[in-house]
Amino acid sequence: MININENFLDLQDSYLFSTIAKKVAKFQEENPNKKVIKLGIGDVTLPLAKNCVEAMKLAAEDLSRKETFMGYGPEQGYDFLRSKILEYDYKSRGIDIDIDEIFVSDGAKCDTGNIVDIFSKDNRVAITDPVYPVYIDTNTMSGRAGKYNELTGKYENIIYIPCTAENNFEPELPTEKPDIIYLCFPNNPTGTVLDRSQLKKWVDYAKECKAIILYDSAYEAFITEDNIPHSIYEIEGAKDVAIEFRSFSKTAGFTGVRCGYVVIPKRLNGYTKNGESISLNKLWNRRTCTKFNGVSYITQKGAEAVYSEEGQKQINKNIDYYKENARIIKKGLEEAGYTIFGAVNAPYIWLKLPDNVKSWDFFDKLLNEVQIVGTPGVGFGPGGEGYFRLTAFGNREDTIEAMNRIKNWQ
């Protein structure tokens, strides 16, 4: 008889996006003449930069010729891409990392999900709340989360670190000592960030606890303020305690193309039960070579083109478009009297709901009364209750119209 991994039974079904889709479909069926504006999606909408598309076409041509055909590539990624990442994302910011500390992948979802493979099941995990749900779910699958408590909306073995308006979205150091700490900045869903001194506190704390920080900076391209670090390695000592995840998804519109990378410094160690230190870079390399055969040559050529002069120009134009949407939403909501967070260094606008309104109640009201779709904050964790997420990934006309509707809303 085949036994299953029963940890999967501890997962909570994610009804968030399917419930949203059902509610919107029902509304549209009942109100066919009303235009619904969707500002809930976390996916990009602008087409890929031409330069990346051209590079992928040329790469496809390479595969059609005997002399330039490519079969299996290096599991860690081609050096033509890793060297660009090294130069443009790190050296240009004064960060000294080696090329073999970079592992190219098919995206940050897989990396942030798969990384749990190299850590003991006994580790205590701390996760900011609310946050991107993949961290909780992958720790649940691998048996670190424990049982789910329906009343609190929390897993018993996870250390939840609240990030709310009360603490100005700065996660406080937990009282219980964690082994693995997830930080995601700019944050999904709150759009908030940590400055250098705030992040330094976490680096020092991780060192003190001999813990590791898993730093997800999928949205770093949206940072506009100078005092906000783009990489955790801008912080002194971070190479001893942090793994960093990056993605071309939001930076370059690669959500459908699929490419990202993870940086694991060689001096970063984990420990055996006997206290022997083991290189995490080596463990991840071993895992990667066993379970992954690399990102396609075509995709990596497309990602390489992101770093060309023309590529940079094109992707920045798209990012600026989304940033302008974020600015329009922020201004519109503030003029309508709402308290909002995020939006300045992220494509997400986090709305604090007035009068203790619940996230789902606001969702229904917004859809029924002004036909705008957003995402209920509670879908990102119990700390998101009473909040609502709007995204800057829609088109300009819809974004402007949505703000006009909200401003005229009684």
Query: Applying CB under 6 A, which residues contact ligand PLP?
Result: 42, 107-109, 112, 132, 184, 188, 216, 218, 247, 249, 255, 260
Q: Which is nearer to ligand PLP, 247 or 399 (CB)?
A: 247
* Between 37 and 218, CB nearer to ligand PLP: 218
Q: Which is nearer to ligand PLP, 217 or 314 (CB)?
A: 217
Q: How far is the CB of 258 from ligand PLP (least distance, A)?
A: 7
Q: What's the burial of 157, exposed, middle or buried (CB within 10 Å: 0-12/13-18/19+)?
A: middle
Burial 164-198, CB ≥16 within 10 A → b, else e: beeeebebebeeeebbbbbbbbbbbbbbbbbeeeb
Separation between Cα atoms, residue 201 and residue 391, nearest integer Å = 29
| Residue with smaller CB distance to ligand PLP, 39 or 108 | 108
Q: In the complex, what is the shortest distance from the CB of residue 72 to ligand PLP, in angstroms, rounded to a whole number?
A: 22
Residues 206 and 236: their CA atoms lie apart, in Å, by 13
Min CB(231)–ligand PLP separation in Å: 15
How near is the Cβ of 101 to ligand PLP at its closest, in Å? Answer: 19
> Could you tell me the smallest distance in angstroms from the CB atom of residue 163 to ligand PLP?
13
Taking the complex as a whole, the smallest distance from the CB of residue 98 to ligand PLP amounts, in Å, to 23
Alpha carbon distance 301, 87 (integer Å): 16
Task: Name which of 136, 125, 110, 141 is nearest 288 in CA terms.
Answer: 110
| Residue placing its CB nearer to ligand PLP in the complex, 184 or 193 | 184
CA distance linking residue 396 with residue 253, whole number of Å: 17
Rounded CA-CA distance 182/15 in Å is: 23
Residue closest to ligand PLP (Cβ): 107
- Distance CA(212)–CA(160), nearest Å, equals 16
Amino acid at 129: D
For ligand PLP, which is the closer residue by CB, 332 or 374?
A: 374
